[in-house]
A and B are shown apart, each in its own frame.
Chain A
Amino acid sequence: MNLQKIDNANDHIKILIVEDLPIYMLSIKSILEIVPEFKVIGEAQDGLEALKKVQISQPDIILMDIGLPKMSGIDATKIIKENYPDVKIIILTSHTDENEVIESLEAGADAYALKDIDTDLLLMLIKSIKDGAFWLDPQIVKIVKHKRPDIICSK
C-alpha cells in the first residue's frame, strides 16, 4: 500500500456525516477511520446544518440519516441533489417506512442502506457509490418492488 499516495488530499474520499444521535455519529466515524482513503470532512446534526456544511466543505459523499430535526434527511437530499448534483448521497437510516423510502429515492438518493448493514459492506458501498453506482438494501428492494417497481425499471 502506497501511504504516500493516500496522504495526498486529492485521493481522499471526502465524507460528510449527517446524524443527530451522538452514539451513531461516533460509531460511523470510528468505522470510517479504518479506511485511510476516507476523510470525514464534516458532521451535521440536522438537515439545515447539512446544507451549510455542503456549501462550505464540498464533500464527495454524504451519509444521510432521515429522521433529523429542523429539516429531514429527505428534504436535505432533495435540495442538495438539485444544487450539487455531483455529491453522492447514501441514506443511512433505521427507517423502512414505504413512503419515506420512495420519497428518498425520488429526492435523488444514490443508495439506501439500513443501520444494521455489515460494516465491511458499508465501506465498500461508499467507494462504489462515490464512483457513481446505485444500491438498495434487501429490505428496501422489497418495498420498492412492491410499491414502485418502476423506480428500478422492474415490473
Chain B
Amino acid sequence: MQEKIKILMVEDQSLFRVGLRSLFEDYPEFDVIAEAEDGDEAVEMLEHIQPDLILMDIGLPRMNGIDATRIIKEKYPKIKVVILTSHTDEKEVTQCLEAGADAYAIKDIKTDYLKMVIQSVKDGAFWLDPQIVHVIKNRKPGAPPKPQSRASFKAEHANLTEREYEVLKLVVEGKSNNEIADELKISEHTAKAHVCNIIQKLVVDDRTQAAVKAIKDGLVTP
C-alpha cells in the first residue's frame, strides 16, 4: 500500500483550512500532519515535523508565503511547496517561482485538480494554474506573428517564379501533379517540371520536404 502524502497546511483563514480539511477526509492518500497560520510558524514547525508537501498561502501575517517558501526550499529542498492562494499578481507569482515553489494554484481550483497537483508535485512535477500561466509563457493572445514575407523567403532561398510559388502552395496542400495541372490549367508534364525546379531550388529531396520547408519558413501558412 502506497504511503500517505504528509501535508503541512499553511493558511491564516480558518474557513479555508476547514474546507481543505474536509476535502482531504475524502482522500485517504493524504494525511494533514499539521497546520500553521503564518510563515514563521511553518518554518518553526519544520524543525519537528517532516511533511512531504506544503500547501502555502501567500498573504500571511508575520512572514508571508513567498519568504517562507524561500527559506523552506533553501533549508529543506526535498519538501515540495504548492502555493495555494487567491493572489494572481504577476510579480508575486514570479517571486514564488523564483523562491522555488513547485506549483502555483489559485484557491478556486477544482478539487480533483488539487488532488492531481498534490500527487504529481509530490513526485517532482511542476504545475501552474491556468490563471497565471501567462506569467511564464509571455503569451499574447490574438494574432499570430506574421509569416516571413515571400520576398525575404526568396532572398534567403532560391528565386522561385510566380508560377513555382503557386505550385508550391498546392504542394503544401498535398495536391498531386495531376491535381496541380488541373487547377492551374497546365499540362501534367509542366506541373511535374515546376515541382522538380522547386525541389532543386529549395535544396530538398522531395516534395514533402519542400512542403515542410515552405511551412517552417512561413512562405505558406498551413
User: CA separation between A137 and B93, bound complex, in Å?
Assistant: 20
The contact size tier of chain A is 35 or more
B221 touches A83 (CB 8 A): yes
User: CA separation between A131 and B113, bound complex, in Å?
Assistant: 11
A133 touches B129 (CB 8 A): yes
Q: Check: B156 CB closer than 8 A to any chain A CB.
A: no
B222 touches A51 (CB 8 A): yes
Contact of B124 among A48, A128, A138, A155 (CB under 8 A): A138
Contact with A along B137-152 (1 / 0, CB 8 A): 1010110110000000
B100 to chain A, nearest CB (A): 7
A155 touches B98 (CB 8 A): yes
Chain B contacts to A: CB under 8 angstroms = 93-94, 97-98, 100, 112-113, 115-116, 119-120, 123-131, 133, 135-137, 139, 141-142, 144-145, 174, 208, 211-212, 215-216, 221-222
Q: Which residues of B contact A85 (CB under 8 A)?
A: 139, 141-142, 144
A147 to chain B, nearest CB (A): 14
Contact of B135 among A83, A135, A142, A153 (CB under 8 A): A153
Chain A contacts to B: CB under 8 angstroms = 47-48, 51-52, 54-55, 70-71, 75, 79, 82-83, 85, 108, 110, 121, 124-125, 127-128, 131-139, 141-142, 144, 151-155
**With known contacts A124-B112, A135-B125, A51–B137 Cβ distance under 8 A:** no
7 contacts between A and B (CB under 8 A): A48-B211, A48-B215, A133-B130, A136-B125, A136-B127, A138-B123, A154-B98
Q: Which residues of B contact A51 (CB under 8 A)?
A: 215, 222
Contact of A82 among B97, B130, B145 (CB under 8 A): B145
User: CA separation between A141 and B113, bound complex, in Å?
Assistant: 19
User: CA separation between A56 and B135, bound complex, in Å?
Assistant: 31
- Chain B interface mostly helix, strand, loop or mixed? helix
Chain A residue nearest in CB terms to B116: A124
Chain A residue nearest in CB terms to B95: A153
Q: Which residues of A contact B145 (CB under 8 A)?
A: 82
A95 to chain B, nearest CB (A): 17
Q: Which residues of B contact A55 (CB under 8 A)?
A: 222
Chain A residue nearest in CB terms to B143: A85
**With known contacts A51-B215, A141-B124, A153-B94, A132–B130 Cβ distance under 8 A:** yes
A152 touches B144 (CB 8 A): no
B99 to chain A, nearest CB (A): 9
User: CA separation between A80 and B119, bound complex, in Å?
Assistant: 31
Most buried by B among A54, A136, A137, A153: A153
Chain B residue nearest in CB terms to A150: B136
User: CA separation between A134 and B112, bound complex, in Å?
Assistant: 16
User: CA separation between A104 and B195, bound complex, in Å?
Assistant: 32
B222 touches A131 (CB 8 A): no
Contact of A128 among B98, B116, B126, B135 (CB under 8 A): B116
